[in-house]
């Protein structure tokens, strides 16, 4: 088959619309408005307490959201995947479904809920909204790995005299780690990089790092905005390396279809 | 028995939590009040005014744009991605690794990075932003998913069938159409559906590539609307309709998949 030439159109497309744009982020971050090489954009970030605080605050919110999603999501994924509880596939769909509803609609729905319950918008609404938005991204990959897990390993552990807690700690949990890791990446990444939804959930009182990036790009500060994007990219690169899971990519957005 | 009940209860509590916001929107789509949370009696006026369209021409326009962009982007992504998958499948291991890695970049990148990077691309080369740039941006983040859904079908295919077709006198094009295409079609279809939903759902990439010529998609419309403070009441029935449609579609697809599996 000489079909390898068929790669060419997509290779060109990727070069123009994926690789070049990323190189442009790097180029803009290390230059000033006149195009001269500089580190001023990064210096500005480090010297600017507000940007720095927003950055750290965003990481904090993302960590809290990720942990909460893990604590709430793991048991759910476990119950859904365990044959003993005999849950239907439709139940799984119900958990994944919110992933397919526009994120702004979901966010406005959260605002509506808080209004309805007469709860103030702010940090609490922000964290609730984030968990509400991204919990399915934690449940799905964990559910996937748990479901593919070889059941005989659990039986083997039981036969060898492990009690239920030991079975969980020594067999099920380690085997589900790939799913947990992709879940962490899939929740942490969108939470730390989100913009727009934080303003809606807090009536513009709390700003996240994604908003800072967006505002700078919108106000024509392309170089500074690019530098902030690069910082975010590095943060996410570190997260992916740290969780180091080959499956995190192929699992993403798999949905039910 | 007790743990079973508790496990089920846990799932239902979590679902109630996940669905309570959307339920509020659904309930309040059946009342006329401008402000959400005020119940002024049952009414379907919001639904009729959504479809009458008079007031909300911009909303209808935004919906139309969203669908047009999604159809075009998903179609081109499916064609580009399927051709690419066949090509990548036939590459030697080194270039294949490079292609697979580059293909994974748009999936690993957060939306905002994809958005900013494409924005910089368009402004650097003086491309005026509008419908075309949004479609190009959507193709960029949708195609990798098509490649990933077609690739497993190619791997599963017996390559001898293709050779056999050639030996039996088929031209390479005929062999492609009659042998390879039927094999990868399910992958292409799920790739298309995935690309379509990703495109409809997108907000972050769209807002960076849509320009300021007044083009709106559903996402940017809602965003602009929410920023103005008041939420257009017609968005409540619209969200309800979208939600119910997605729910029914997913359950139908899932039931079919379950049936196919058991057969």
In angstroms, rounded to a whole number, what is the distance separating the alpha carbons of residues B198 and B143?
Answer: 11
Q: SS3 string of A194-233?
A: CCCHHHHHHCCCCCCHHHHHHHHHHCCCHHHHHHHHHHHH
Nearest by CB to residue B112, choosing from A5, A11, A195, is A195
Q: Give the mean model confidence (pLDDT) for residues A241-249.
A: 61
Closest listed residue to residue B43, CA positions, set B55, B28, B53, B57: B28
At residue A250, the pLDDT reads 43
In angstroms, rounded to a whole number, what is the distance separating the alpha carbons of residues A121 and A126?
Answer: 8
Tell whether B124 is within 8 A of chain A (Cβ).
Answer: yes
Report, as ranges of residue numbers, the positions in chain B whose pLDDT lies below 70.
37, 53-57, 229-231, 257, 260-261, 263
At residue A251, the pLDDT reads 41
At residue B88, the pLDDT reads 92
In this predicted structure, the answer to whether residue A36 has a pLDDT above a threshold of 70 is: yes
Task: Please tell me the distance in Å from A184's CA to the nearest CA on chain B.
Answer: 13
In this predicted structure, the answer to whether residue A175 has a pLDDT above a threshold of 80 is: yes
Q: Give the mean model confidence (pLDDT) for residues A126-152.
A: 89
Kindly tell me the sign of the dihedral angle through the C-alpha atoms of A85, A89, A90, A94.
positive
Task: Please tell me the distance in Å from B167's CA to the nearest CA on chain A.
Answer: 13
B91: closest chain A residue by CA: A4
Confidence of residue A2 (pLDDT cuts 50, 70, 90): low
In angstroms, rounded to a whole number, what is the distance separating the alpha carbons of residues A167 and A161?
Answer: 9
At residue A206, the pLDDT reads 86
What are the CA-CA distances from residue B56 to residues A256, B31, B123, B216, B234 (Å)?
34, 18, 32, 13, 8
Average pLDDT value for chain A? 85
In this predicted structure, the answer to whether residue A179 has a pLDDT above a threshold of 70 is: yes
Between chain A and chain B, how many beta carbons pairs sit less than 8 Å apart?
244
Look at residue B232 and give its three-state secondary structure. coil
Provide, as residue numbers in chain A, all residues whose Cβ is less than 8 Å from the Cβ of B159: 1
What global pTM score does this model have?
Answer: 0.85
CB pair distance less than 8 Å for B145 and A253: yes
Provide, as residue numbers in chain B, all residues whose Cβ is less than 8 Å from the Cβ of A253: 107, 145, 194, 198
Q: Nearest 10 degrees: CA dihedral of B17, B19, B24, B25?
A: 140
What are the CA-CA distances from residue A255 to residues A251, B14, B117, B193, B216 (Å)?
9, 19, 26, 11, 27
ipTM: 0.85
- Segment among A35-39, A62-66, A122-126 with least mean pLDDT: A35-39
At residue B135, the pLDDT reads 97
In angstroms, rounded to a whole number, what is the distance separating the alpha carbons of residues B200 and A100?
Answer: 9
At residue B229, the pLDDT reads 66
Look at residue A30 and give its three-state secondary structure. coil
In this predicted structure, the answer to whether residue A50 has a pLDDT above a threshold of 60 is: yes
CB pair distance less than 8 Å for A25 and B223: no
Mutate to test the interface with A, among B20, B21, B228 (most CBs of A within 10 A): B21
Confidence of residue A252 (pLDDT cuts 50, 70, 90): very low
CB pair distance less than 8 Å for B11 and A10: no
- Segment among A17-21, A54-58, A114-118, A207-211 with least mean pLDDT: A114-118
Question: Which is more confidently placed, A243 or B72?
Answer: B72
Provide, as residue numbers in chain A, all residues whose Cβ is less than 8 Å from the Cβ of B194: 253, 255, 257
At residue A253, the pLDDT reads 38
Question: Which is more confidently placed, B246 or A152?
Answer: A152
Residue A107 · residue A187 · CB < 8 Å? no
Look at residue B212 and give its three-state secondary structure. coil
């Amino acid at each position: 088959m000489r079909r390898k030439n068929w790669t060419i159109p997509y290779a060109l497309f990727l070069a123009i619309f994926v690789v070049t744009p990323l190189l442009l982020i790097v180029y803009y971050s290390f230059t000033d408005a006149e195009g001269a090489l500089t580190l001023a954009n990064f210096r500005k970030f480090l010297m600017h307490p507000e940007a720095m605080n927003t950055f750290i605050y965003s990481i904090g919110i993302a960590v809290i959201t990720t942990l909460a999603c893990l604590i709430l999501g793991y048991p759910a994924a476990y119950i859904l995947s365990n044959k003993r509880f005999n849950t239907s596939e439709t139940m799984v769909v119900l958990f994944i479904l919110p992933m397919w509803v526009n994120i702004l609609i979901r966010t406005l729905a959260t605002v509506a809920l808080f209004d309805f319950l007469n709860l103030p918008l702010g940090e609490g609404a922000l964290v609730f909204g984030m968990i509400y938005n991204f919990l399915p991204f934690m449940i799905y990959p964990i559910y996937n790995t748990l479901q593919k897990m070889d059941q005989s390993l659990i039986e083997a552990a039981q036969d060898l005299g492990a009690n239920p807690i030991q079975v969980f700690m020594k067999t099920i949990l380690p085997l589900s780690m790939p799913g947990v890791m992709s879940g962490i990446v899939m929740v942490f990444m969108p939470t730390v990089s989100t913009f727009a939804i934080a303003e809606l959930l807090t009536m513009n009182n709390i700003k996240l790092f994604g908003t800072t990036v967006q505002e700078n790009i919108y106000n024509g500060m392309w170089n500074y905005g690019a530098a902030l994007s690069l910082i975010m990219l590095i943060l996410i690169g570190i997260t992916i390396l740290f969780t180091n899971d080959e499956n995190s990519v192929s699992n993403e957005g798999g949905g039910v279809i | 028995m007790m743990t079973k009940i508790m496990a089920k209860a846990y799932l239902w509590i979590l679902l109630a939590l996940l669905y309570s916001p959307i339920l509020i929107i659904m309930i309040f789509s059946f009342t006329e009040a401008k402000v959400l949370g005020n119940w002024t009696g049952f009414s379907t006026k919001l639904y009729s005014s959504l479809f009458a369209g008079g007031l909300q021409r911009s909303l209808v326009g935004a919906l139309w744009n969203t669908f047009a962009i999604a159809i075009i982007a998903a179609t081109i992504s499916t064609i580009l991605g399927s051709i690419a998958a066949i090509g990548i499948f036939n590459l030697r291991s080194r270039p294949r690794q490079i292609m697979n890695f580059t293909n994974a970049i748009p999936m690993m990148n957060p939306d905002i990075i994809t958005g900013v990077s494409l924005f910089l691309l368009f402004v650097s080369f003086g491309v005026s932003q509008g419908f075309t740039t949004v479609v190009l941006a959507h193709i960029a983040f949708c195609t990798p998913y098509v490649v990933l859904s077609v690739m497993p079908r190619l791997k599963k295919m017996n390559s001898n069938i293709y050779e056999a077709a050639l030996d039996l006198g088929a031209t390479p094009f005929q062999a492609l159409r009659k042998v390879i295409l039927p094999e990868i079609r399910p992958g292409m279809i799920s790739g298309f559906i995935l690309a379509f939903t990703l495109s409809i759902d997108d907000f972050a990439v769209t807002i960076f590539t849509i320009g300021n010529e007044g083009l709106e998609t559903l996402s940017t419309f809602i965003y602009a609307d929410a920023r103005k403070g008041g939420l257009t009441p017609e968005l409540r029935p619209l969200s309800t309709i979208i939600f119910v449609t997605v729910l029914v579609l997913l359950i139908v697809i899932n039931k079919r998949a379950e049936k196919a599996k058991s057969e």
